Structure 1
Amino acid sequence: MSKFVMDANWLHWHQSPTKPSFVVPEGAVDAHCHVFGPGDQFGFAPERKYTPCDASKQQLWDLRDYLGFSRNVVVQATCHGADNSALVDALEASSGLARGVATIKEDISDAELDKLHAAGVRGVRFNFVKRLVDALPFDSLKRIADRIVTRDWHIVIYFESQDLPELYDFFTSLPTTLVVDHMGRPDVTKPVDGEDFALFLKFMAENKNVWSKVSCPERISVDGPSKEYQDVVPFARKVVESFPDRVLWGTDWPHPNMKSHIPDDGKLVNMIPLFAPTKELQHKLLVANPMRLYWSK
């Protein structure tokens, strides 16, 4: 297999994160993270938009233990395309402590879907971030959705807030549970009670099948790490308090495509009580909700 050379401007994941002062509840799940390669074992897709550093399953498990978590939900990274080999390898090596979200194509066989399910896959990801993927075939995505609904899988959707109006009707036509990555990346320079975020809150309020990850403040913040991403807190807290039974949290390790900085994973964990200020909300966010979505079937 050819050697992969990571992009010259790629930011490597944090090598010595802070030990978090916030102690997560027993059984907590990091519900959004990735594995990259290793490239000499699981090659990156020819159509990829980026070539990352390696980030192995064992390094992910080490971080999980260090931060105090018990389980992971590993989301297929776009650099691997629809080849889910690295994801499946991680799930099969996890002793049941990881579940997965795959990327699939319409022509996938039922036998391959069965194999993914047996490995621990419980959802598929549709990426609508235009700088990361080429034009999306909506009819094909709808046909994929119609196939996976019979397996009680869900769909993870990744989009940016300015694109929600044009995607709204398509999203509401999908028959499965939907899980939105990172609150749809709201514009935090605008008010939390403003028009833009109101559409996202309406999307969740009027569609009981829609969940949200309150993750990635480092991607959403304008203030940045020097102000500890405080401009994201009102948005995440609004979502958690409004929809406590349909929220998830994750590190997003190893933080693909960050341009300005790599966050300290321990400090991200310390933000959780700002998003979910009570023990009851924390338990739902970190334990009850992800267990219901990923381990109950």
Structure 2
Amino acid sequence: MFPDIATCPSADAPPCAGPLTSLLTPAVQLPPQACDCHFHILGPADRYPYSPNRIYTPPDCLVPDYVALRNCLGLSRCVVVQPSVYGSDNTVLVETLRTMGDDARGVVVLDDTAGPGELADLHALGVRGVRVNLVDVQRPGADLPVDRLLRLQERVAPLGWHLELLVPVDQHPDLYEALHRFDVPLVFGHMGYPTIGTPLTHPGMAAMLALMQEGRAWAKLTAPYRLETGEPPYHRAQTIARWLVAQCPRQVVWGTDWPHVMVKTRMPHDVELLEVTAQWIEAPHLRHAIFAENPARLYQWH
């Protein structure tokens, strides 16, 4: 039997490395109800084939692997985010939520066919947001798809969901004008995913910060290795993270970004990433907010 084309690497979807699997105990102790606000489950690929339009081919990274890591890091809650390799097929994410129960929330990708009944079912399982990925696609667009985002808002606002945007904010200096009209919360992945070398004074960065200061937006402290070519302690990511936390401590959450797909530097260890983040957030009240209190508000644990 020949393998499914959607499970095999190709020139347009090369293989990427898997995460480090050793389980280490972090030196930092997290607050109760600490939450990983960004991870992915991938595979089994022979059962859940990847989209033919993907730009990478990951190894299987499964729920038991993640749960072992989560427990080792001292986390209680988690948010599974739809990866680009599955497009709008949320089957794996749904199965993950069913397996993990109320300690998990989800962020899906929606196509135009999902109706109110399906959205209500997703909400009952723990979905609280919709992801729009403008980076990990074969043909990234130059403009923000504002009309598409407004249509998504109309569909998810009755459920109290947010829109999660993976978009380099520095490529959109008019970001504030485009997004300040939105009524649902906006969540910027990877600290706004700025291009290497982008200053904090860039209009796109300033726009993200303004939306956060108004309570309209949030930022995820995730994937520092995607913001620079260096290695831990990730000095550039540290600068951005501390800037966001200093200005908007109630609008920031943290996540592992496990299993770290398409890493272009050396593969980091998750304990290393957690300890680096803890160095950025030294005050106990800020750690409690970013690791526990803020996620409980954003993802509606009541």
TM-score above 0.5, yes or no: yes
> Among residues 1, 4, 12, which one is paired with 1:2 in the alignment?
4
Provide the C-alpha distance between the structure 1 equivalents of 2:61 and 2:266, rounded to a whole number of angstroms.
Answer: 17
- Determine if the alignment matches structure 1 residue 29 to structure 2 residue 32: no
Q: 1:281 is aligned with what amino acid?
A: L
Provide the C-alpha distance between the structure 1 equivalents of 2:203 and 2:156, rounded to a whole number of angstroms.
Answer: 34
> Among residues 239, 244, 255, which one is paired with 1:239 in the alignment?
244
Which residue matches 1:178?
186
Q: 2:155 is aligned with what amino acid?
A: R
Once the two structures are TM-superposed, the CA of residue 188 in structure 1 deviates from its matched residue by 5.7
Which residue matches 1:66?
72
Deviations 1:28-79 (A, max 9, x none): 0000111112112222122222221111111111110011111110000010
- Determine if the alignment matches structure 1 residue 152 to structure 2 residue 154: no
- Determine if the alignment matches structure 1 residue 215 to structure 2 residue 218: no
Matching of residues 132-151 of structure 1 within 5 Å: 134-135=140-141, 138-151=146-159
Once the two structures are TM-superposed, the CA of residue 25 in structure 1 deviates from its matched residue by 1.2
Q: CA RMSD in A?
A: 2.2
Unaligned regions of 5+ residues in structure 2, if any?
none
Which residue matches 2:272?
267
Question: Residue 74 of structure 1 contacts residue 101 of structure 1 at CA under 8 Å; is this kept in 2?
Answer: yes
- Determine if the alignment matches structure 1 residue 83 to structure 2 residue 101: no
Question: Residue 221 of structure 1 contacts residue 229 of structure 1 at CA under 8 Å; is this kept in 2?
Answer: yes
Which residue matches 2:177?
169
Once the two structures are TM-superposed, the CA of residue 145 in structure 1 deviates from its matched residue by 1.2
Answer with 85-94 or 237-246: which moved more. Answer: 237-246
Q: 1:44 is aligned with what amino acid?
A: Y
Provide the C-alpha distance between the structure 2 equivalents of 1:9 and 1:43, rounded to a whole number of angstroms.
Answer: 14
- Residue identity over aligned pairs, in percent, reads 34
Q: 1:99 is aligned with what amino acid?
A: R
Q: 1:240 is aligned with what amino acid?
A: V
Once the two structures are TM-superposed, the CA of residue 196 in structure 1 deviates from its matched residue by 5.9
SS of alignment partner, residue 108 of structure 1: coil
Number of equivalent positions: 294
- Determine if the alignment matches structure 1 residue 110 to structure 2 residue 116: yes
Provide the C-alpha distance between the structure 1 equivalents of 2:198 and 2:16, rounded to a whole number of angstroms.
Answer: 30
Question: Residue 45 of structure 1 contacts residue 81 of structure 1 at CA under 8 Å; is this kept in 2?
Answer: yes
Which residue matches 2:18?
12
- Determine if the alignment matches structure 1 residue 203 to structure 2 residue 206: no
Matching of residues 36-51 of structure 1 within 5 Å: 36-51=42-57
TM-score by length of 1: 0.91
Matching of residues 258-297 of structure 1 within 5 Å: 258-296=263-301
Answer with 253-262 or 12-21: which moved more. Answer: 12-21
Unaligned regions of 5+ residues in structure 1, if any?
none
Provide the C-alpha distance between the structure 2 equivalents of 1:169 and 1:191, rounded to a whole number of angstroms.
Answer: 20
Query: Structure 1 pair 175/270, CA: closer, same or farther in 2 (3 Å)?
Result: same
Once the two structures are TM-superposed, the CA of residue 13 in structure 1 deviates from its matched residue by 1.1
Q: 1:52 is aligned with what amino acid?
A: P
Which residue matches 1:56?
62
